[in-house]
Amino acid sequence: MEKDCIFCKIVNGEIPTTFLYKNDDLVIFRDINPHAPVHILIVPTRHIRSVNDLTGEDAKIVSDMIMAGKMMAEKEGISKSGYKLLYNVEKGGGQVIFHLHMHLIGGWKK
């Protein structure tokens, strides 16, 4: 838990958020400012700043995040049409919230 981290506050309930899925290791909720018809965030409960801070010990959470993205794409009905799983890394990569998260984006009309 990092003081002043918005996603830590979402994880611990300080900022009320509707979770689409939650377990001890990650939470999933809709992006507040969606860039596509489906825009979902997959967020580890543990505070990790960015992809740059990942170590070999984090391999499980990273694979869990990707599997969760796949599961949510199926739930949202966008598996077949296709989607993006995206990590923005640090300021130059477009990262605004410095608590690791993966975007699931899709649902565009063909």
The answer to whether residue 96 forms part of the interface with ligand 5GP (CB under 6 A) is yes
The residues pairing with 85 across neighbouring beta strands, listed in sequence order, are 104
Size of the residue set binding ligand 5GP (CB under 6 A): 14
Rounded CA separation 103/67 (Å): 13
Given 12, 59, 94, 108, the residue binding ligand 5GP (CB under 6 A)? 94
What residue 72 binds from Zn ion, ligand 5GP, none (CB within 5 to 8 A, per partner kind)? Answer: none
Rounded CA separation 61/82 (Å): 23
Rounded CA separation 90/61 (Å): 19
Q: Is 103 tagged catalytic?
A: no
CB half-sphere exposure, 27, CA atoms < 13 A: 18
Query: Between 77 and 93, whose beta carbon lies closer to Zn ion?
Result: 93
What residue 5 binds from ligand 5GP, Zn ion, none (CB within 5 to 8 A, per partner kind)? Answer: Zn ion
